[in-house]
Amino acid sequence: DIVMTQTPSSQAVSAGEKVTMSCKSSQSLLYSENKKNYLAWYQQKPGQSPKLLISWASTRESGVPDRFIGSGSGTDFTLTISSVQAEDLAVYYCEQYYDTPLTFGSGTKLEIK
Amino acid sequence: QVQLKESGPGLVQPSQTLSLTCTVSGLSLTSNSVSWIRQPPGKGLEWMGVIWSNGGTDYNSAIKSRLSISRDTSKSQVFLKMNSLQTEDTAMYFCASDYSGDEYWGQGVMVTVSS
């Protein structure tokens, strides 16, 4: 199984600050035939179901604010929130869908100071 | 409008079998896959398995021996059955699907394994 490692486990920032969080996979998620990275980012707010923010490592889903930026390739990925808002309080998970079983990272909890 | 809704018993006794239903609307099970994901209280997400649009299934190897996913396309329902439940199976259980490029999740159903 592909192991997904997220760091940090939690992070506290003030509104308006930039935040970055990391996700590393135990094997490459880059499929050579289509040059796509099979990596997604989810946001889970307290008491809610997870919401898909980014797929293919860097493609924002419809309606996701452009302050959410996904980057990276291969085994190293980053989610950046360029200017954190109070409503971004949530746990963020990365997920690989390169192979079954699909696997998630353990999450980064974002707290607002 | 696409909707998924999980249903099932809130409490299951240890060693018993869990049966959950995911009822979908706004999409066809013969064109879209449905996955089950669970989340123990205060913990992360675990993908359990998927039933593909062609009816084939894939399961998480860690629970494969205990898990079965099936469907009734005429009722737009997907079923999860997992046997030999233990307390560590206590979790929120979600179903999710892709449709027209968007991903949809149900609200989840909380299952507690306890005597």
Which amino acid type is present at position B93? Y
- The answer to whether the Cα torsion of B104, A1, A79, A20 is positive or negative is positive
Mean pLDDT along residues A24-51: 97
CB distance from A72 to chain B under 8 Å?
no
Nearest C-alpha of chain B: how many angstroms from A65?
Answer: 16
The band of B114, judged by pLDDT with boundaries at 50, 70 and 90, is very high
Question: Given B49, B102, B105, which is nearest A62 (Cβ)?
Answer: B102
Look at A107 and B44 and tell me if their CB atoms are within 8 Å: yes
Q: How many angstroms separate the CA of residue B101 from the nearest CA in chain A? A: 9
Question: Using 50, 70 and 90 to split pLDDT, how confident is the model at B101?
Answer: confident
**Whole-number Å distance between alpha carbons of B59 and A79:** 28
Query: What is the rounded average pLDDT of the residues B55-64?
Result: 96
Mean pLDDT of A28-54: 97
Amino acid at A15: A
Q: Flag whether pLDDT at B100 surpasses 90.
A: no
